[in-house]
Amino acid sequence: MNRRRCVNAAITVACAVTVLASPALTLQASAAPAAPKAAPAAPAAPAAPLPPTAPKKTLEEVRKEIDGLYRKAAAATDAYNLAEEQTKEQSAEIVRLAKMIVAGREKIDALKAQAGAAARAQYRNGGLPEGAQFVLTDDPQLFLDNAGRLKEGQKATKDLLAEMTRTQAQLTVYAKDAGTNWTKLEANRVKQAEAKKDIEEKIAAAKKLESELAAEERARLLRLEEQEQYRAQTAWLDTGVLKGLNNTATPQGKRAVEFATAQIGKPYVWGAEGPDSYDCSGLTQRAWGKAGRNIPRTSQEQWRLLPRVDIKDMRPGDLIVYYKDASHIGMYVGNGAMVHAPRPGRNVTLAGAGSMEILGVVRPE
């Protein structure tokens, strides 16, 4: 009871303090005239309907979108790798031409020095070549003996001038070729930069989609990936494609397969050619390089330039090219399996040879 009285007293004191602390506010409020009655408010306009929210994507739709982004990144990687390969070739060609230009200039200098020596000798002989002096002698025997020397001297002078003209023409061609290669080199550097930007944007977009998923959804996404690959592989095997297929590799093919499978577990990195990471065509190129066969750098160039074989004739070591744009490639290892570097975020692995859309098969041998 006493406690309640104390609380009530405290509240009363606090209210009094508040009123005393703001006398002006209290007086103004009490002295203010009554406000006129407001006009009746207009009826409120109906609220604008909210824009419809986009339906949430299913996990399968997300999987397809991510897969599409990585495939576009793979195509851009091929463009980058091709531009890089051409840049290397053009740089080497420019260096070769520069060396030839230097050698040509040195040759011109030597020919000029030779011509100068001949001119100085002629000046010392009163303006006549040495051979001409022998021809003009009064001694018939000396004339006969040295007539041939004059002819040889004339031929040497003619050859010297012709060689200078030819060398100068070569220098002009070398300089023009070097300029052309430099223009191509710069164009390919631009292509590389554009392809790199495209790759990074596609990979970033795919990673963003994945990062927005909960851990459980990411696990389900991986299972969906595996289920799709299994479905495609099963459908491929159901065609009877393995019946009569040769599972024996040539010695060279065996070396390529051994190298490729030894890379299992290493990460995919776009543009990488090993030894610590690979992209799909970097793996196949390096494997066949270790087997003693140089092949093109990109999956599209490997498809375009290497001999093609029918799937029914496929054997270990052959390369399987995937998708209509030849943007992915793997190496057949036998028994319906292949080894490949799949995509960013994945490691080199074994997979079903028919787990993706097959474009065709090429044989590096």
Instruction: Kindly list the catalytic residues.
Output: 280, 328, 340
What are the respective helix, strand and coil percentages of the chain, to the nearest 5?
65, 10, 30
DSSP character at residue 337:
E
Q: How many Cβ atoms sit within 10 Å of the Cβ of residue 86?
A: 17
Q: Whole-angstrom Cα distance, residue 340 to residue 350?
A: 7
DSSP label of 278: B
Strand order across the 328-334 sheet: 308-309, 358-362, 319-322, 328-334, 337-340, 349-352
339 phi/psi in degrees, rounded to 5: -110, 140
Q: For residues 270 and 198, is the Cβ–Cβ distance under 8 A? A: no
Q: How far apart are the first and last CA of the chain?
A: 104
In degrees, rounded to 5, the angle at the alpha carbon of residue 73 between the alpha carbons of residues 67 and 79 is 145
Core vs surface per residue 179-200: b (16+ CB within 10 A) or e:
eebeebbeebeebbeebbebbe
Can you tell me which residue has the tokens 């943007």? 327
Q: CB within 8 A of 307, min separation 6: which ones?
A: 362, 363
